[in-house]
Amino acid sequence: MTKIILKLWMPVMAFMAITGMGQMPIFKRYYVADIPGLAWLGEPFTVHWAHYIGAAALMFIIAWLVTLWFAKQPKLTGSGKIRIVLLGLIIGTGYVRVIKNLPDIHFSPTVTMLIDWTHLLFAMLLGIAALWSARTGRKAYIKR
């Protein structure tokens, strides 16, 4: 079962990156949504809910992996620790964004911008850390 979960990791993370970028209207602005099959990327409501569905899938995968980690408690690599911390920060700011979108919750425009930018910053840093880890051969999260 773990191999299935790990094979889902990259597609789910790619989906989250695409729908995350879709939260900013760049796909419609740069005519990516005009490509056949990608029109949904130009619909903000659809992209928003797709991002939530992807987040639910990501939370399931992470819950599964955390459960396995607690069962065996293997040692984490340095790059694994960095990526886990960044992923935790993305999840934390993502939860705050969900709370911000509730109908009875109101944040000031400055706080909203800060939440959005930190979420984007941590996502970009995770992408950079993942690319750096892959380029330097430090892909593993766990010491073997």
**Alpha carbon distance 70, 140 (integer Å):** 17
Paired with 137 in beta bridges are none
According to DSSP, residue 42 is labeled: G
Instruction: List, for residues 55-102, the tens digit of each pLDDT value.
Output: 999 999 999 989 988 998 889 889 999 999 999 999 999 999 999 989
**Prediction pTM value:** 0.89
Which among 102, 144, 141 has a CA at the least distance from the CA of 6?
141
Domain limits of the chain? Answer: 1-73, 75-143
